[in-house]
Amino acid sequence: MTVDATRASAGTTAAARSGVKLAADFDSFLKLLTTQLTTQDPLSPMDAEQFTSQLVQFSGVEQAIQTNTKLEMLIGLMQANQTTAALQYIGATVELDTSAIALAAGGTAEIAYELPETAAAVLVEIRDGSGRLVRQLTGPAAAGPRSLVWDGRDGAGAAQPAGTYSVAVAAVDPLGREIPVPLDTVGRVEALTQTTAGLRLTVDGRTYPVESVRSVRPAA
């Protein structure tokens, strides 16, 4: 079995377990129903409407599980196809928007930027997908390529969920004038990794979300 097929089939495990449990529950339900029918009071038989309602509920749950199974298979296939399509990036030179950073579950994220001159102060803001301010950090202020590591927590120390976050960097010189800080980089893709936060590219030793790719130049 191929890696892609393994990933696709793995997604059906939860729904399959639910289906097995439902079958066991339905078998128990039928046994109880049969016992009730054979021992019921002939003068006060089971309410047919209640009996029908229980059967309809079991049928609805069964259909929902079947739908979930198909959705999980579809998601697994889409993830496998995304990984296969991204193989073209290996060895290629890419331009990346580094205002997007990837945070894996329980992990950290590296923030990279370049200062055209030494700054008096550098403020880094991290926001989630809804634009909510998650964290403010003070960054290195010396001229040149710089980076810092975000520990994946907000200002109150709470761990943040895996996903893609946006970064804004503001820098000022000793006179208080704003220094433009480019948030893009060019590098060679060394590896692909499927994480809890999605597909990630390793570029010159750093990890970026695949969504941050602006342009691709194929390997020579």
Q: How far apart are CA 220 and CA 111, in angstroms?
A: 29
At 90, give phi and psi (nearest 5°). -60, 125
Average confidence (pLDDT) over 170-192: 88
Residue 133's pLDDT is 96
The CATH number fitting domain 90-217, selected from 2.102.10.10, 2.60.40.4070, 1.10.10.60, 3.10.129.10: 2.60.40.4070
AA identity, residue 187: G
Q: Where are the beta strands (DSSP E) in 48-143?
A: 93-97, 100-103, 109-115, 121-127, 133-138
Instruction: Please report which confidence band the pLDDT of residue 215 belongs to, taking 50, 70 and 90 as the band edges.
Output: confident
Which candidate, 153, 165, 149, 8, places its Cα nearest to that of 76?
8
Question: Can you give the residue ranges of every domain in the chain?
Answer: 3-88, 90-217
pTM above 0.85, yes or no: no
**Please, are residues 169 and 182 in contact by the beta-carbon 8 Å criterion?**
no
Least confident of 9-23, 57-71, 87-101: 9-23
**Please, are residues 214 and 97 in contact by the beta-carbon 8 Å criterion?**
yes
Residue 107's pLDDT is 86
Q: How far apart are CA 110 and CA 150, in angstroms?
A: 6
Q: What is the pLDDT of residues 120-147, one digit of tens each?
A: 999 999 999 899 999 999 999 999 988 8
Q: How far apart are CA 55 and CA 50, in angstroms?
A: 9
Q: How far apart are CA 25 and CA 18, in angstroms?
A: 10
